[in-house]
Amino acid sequence: MSIKIQKTFEALFELEEIRGIFREAVPTGLNAEEEAALQKKITELKAIIADLEAGTGTPKVTKIAGTLNVRSREEQYINIHPIQAAGRLTDEARKALISYGDGYSTCDFCRKPFRLDKITRPSIADFHEDLAKWLNMDQARVVPGARRGFQAVTSTLVNKGDSVIVSALAHYTEFLAVEGAGGIVKEVPLNDKNIVTAEATADKIEEVKTETGKLPVLVMIDHYDYQFANEHEITAIGKVAHQYDIPFLYNGAYTVGVQPVDGKKIGADFVVGSGHKSMASVAPSGVLAINDDFAPKTLRTTAMVGDLTKRKFGIKEVELLGCTLMGGTLLSMMASFPTVKERVLHWDEEVKKSNYFIDALLRVEGSKVLSEYPRKHTLTKVDTTGSYDTVAQTHKRRGFFFSDELTAHGIVGEFAGATRTWKLNTYGLNWNQVHYLADAFTEIAEKYELPVQKEKIQPNPV
């Protein structure tokens, strides 16, 4: 690590932006005095690096290491953007993207039967098998985003006027997928903790049956929703769906690629994941995995024959419009896959880091966590109206003061000026970075004389 950090550091320093990392940043266009100050800083930092190499880091060392031990776009900042975190590419994916950026570059060795998931060079066929196995499902296909996975399923199962059960926190793309197929969404209400329960799902199914005289044709629920990233009763909901003989789609946009997902254990007929959200892949990419009961229908091949030319199109799958990801998107997914398979095994550690940071934020009086707490996910919705935003009331930069402060601390990813109730994600930050992040929030609070509790406090109930 030491050599890597040193090299990173030296390269970054030359880039001048490094100065922005430190609060005592030296502006550009240095006079002699400033130059001397900068040289002093360099000497100090070299000593810190030497400390690091000797394994005798001080808290300050840890902070700096945390800041430096990141790469490429993140190299200057700690990025807490809510939806970018787990989609960031691995180095392998970046290389694959360059090599396979050309459209149809997957098709060089496409041979009969002429379908993406059958190509063996590069090993796309094996990748499909591995994906299905990894999710413990029978078949897997890559799709341009989770939304296209929903669409393939709704357009298979939903007819005009059919009802589809979704959560009251369902993503808009689920609504569109149902609408596109002519169906009608029926939302399961949340309980007082913003959780979708199996009981409420069963009640909703009964209600639809009574109202329409027909059972819904699909239950489609997010394991973690996009608003709070609360965990919903996914396995029990799957059981309820099956008791009514309704197929169950598990939306793993926030799980597939960050935590282990076992489709059979969950009782999912369909598992949908998002490559660019959670699998370190280029957008748009995703996965649709299917069990044997529904694979023949969802993955049916074309029977169409040209009326003039009598042309047929072999084994192209109708719902996927034949082939799907034909270049860098797919190859980036494949290149990141070994890392992704490994990283899901460390989800518990990611959740610990998330809780560490949220605990620190809650020590700043007036801060609230709107998501369930303790956190079970790295994406969290917080409310800082009663803490940092109180400063905004009188600050000349108004709501932007907070973003200015975060940027000055080398932290980005919040929506500038929109930090009253807002979302952030700690996924992929190492412990040094999480400590640095927590300290930075505390320092900002202290700078503006917001009360900070020393002991861990429980959050205000939502």
Ligand X SMILES: Cc1ncc(COP(=O)(O)O)c(C=O)c1O
- CB 297, CB 137: distance < 8 Å: no
Which two three-digit tokens encode residue 318? 């109708």
Of the candidates 10, 163, 88, the one whose C-alpha atom is nearest the C-alpha of residue 425 is 88
Nearer to ligand X, 286 or 328 (CB): 286
Smaller CB separation from ligand X, 276 or 381: 276
**CA 104/CA 99 separation, integer angstroms:** 12
Contact (Cβ atoms closer than 8 angstroms) between residue 420 and residue 401 = no
In the complex, least distance from residue 171 CB atom to ligand X, rounded to whole angstroms:
4
Q: Any idea what the Cα angle at residue 253 is, between residues 252 and 257, rounded to 5°?
A: 80
329 or 387: CB nearest ligand X: 329
Question: 253 or 358: whose CB is closer to ligand X?
Answer: 253
Least distance between ligand X and beta carbon 54 (Å): 45
Say which residues have a Cβ less than 8 Å from residue 22's Cβ, sequence separation at least 6. 41
> Which C-beta is closer to ligand X: that of 142 or that of 344?
142
Beta bridge partners of 421: 383
The answer to whether 303 is annotated as binding is: no
Cβ of residue 380: shortest distance to ligand X, in angstroms? 14
Complete DSSP assignment for 24-51: TPPPSS--HHHHHHHHHHHHHHHHHHHH
CB of 325 vs ligand X, minimal distance in Å: 12
CB atoms within 10 A of CB 449: 8
Give min distance, CB of 188 to ligand X, in A.
Answer: 15
Beta carbon of residue 431, minimum distance to ligand X (angstroms, whole number): 27
Consult the annotation and say whether 275 binds a ligand: yes
Q: Which long-range contacts (CB under 8 A, 24 or more apart) does 293-302 make?
A: 293/247, 293/269, 294/156, 294/247, 294/269, 294/270, 295/138, 295/139, 297/156, 297/157, 298/152, 298/153, 298/156, 298/270, 299/139, 299/141
Structure tokens at 126: 């094996």
Those residues whose C-beta lies under 8 Å from the C-beta of residue 352, and which sit 6 or more positions away, are none
50 is in an annotated binding site: no
Take residue 260 and report the two structure tokens written for it.
């282990």
Cβ distance to ligand X smaller for residue 266 or 392? 266
Closer to ligand X by Cβ: residue 100 or 250:
250
Is position 147 annotated in a ligand binding site? yes
137's CB contacts (< 8 A; 6+ apart) are 263, 264, 268, 271, 289, 290, 291
**DSSP string covering 367-398:** -EE-S-SS-SSSEEEEE-TTTHHHHHTTSTTT
Q: Which of 132, 107, 148, 133 is nearest to 251 (CA)?
A: 148
Shortest Cβ distance from residue 223 to ligand X (Å)? Answer: 9
Q: Would you say 120 or 421 has its CB closer to ligand X?
A: 421
- Looking at the Cβ atoms of 413 and 459, the one nearer to ligand X is 413
- How far is 271 from 62, CA to CA, in rounded Å? 40
Nearest distance from C-beta of residue 414 to ligand X, angstroms = 17
Tell me whether residue 274 is annotated as binding: yes
Q: In Å, how far from its chain's centre is CA 48?
A: 34
Closest separation in Å from C-beta 412 to ligand X? 20
Q: Which residues touch 180 (CB under 8 Å, ≥6 apart)?
A: 151, 154, 155
Burial bucket for residue 453 (CB in 10 Å: 0-12, 13-18, 19+): exposed
Residues that bind ligand X (CB under 6 A): 83, 145-147, 171, 173, 222, 226, 251, 253-254, 274, 276-277, 286
User: Is 251 among the annotated ligand-binding positions?
Assistant: yes
Minimum CB distance to ligand X, residue 235 (Å): 18
Output the known binding site for pyridoxal 5'-phosphate: 146-147, 251, 274-276
Output the known binding site: 146-147, 251, 274-276
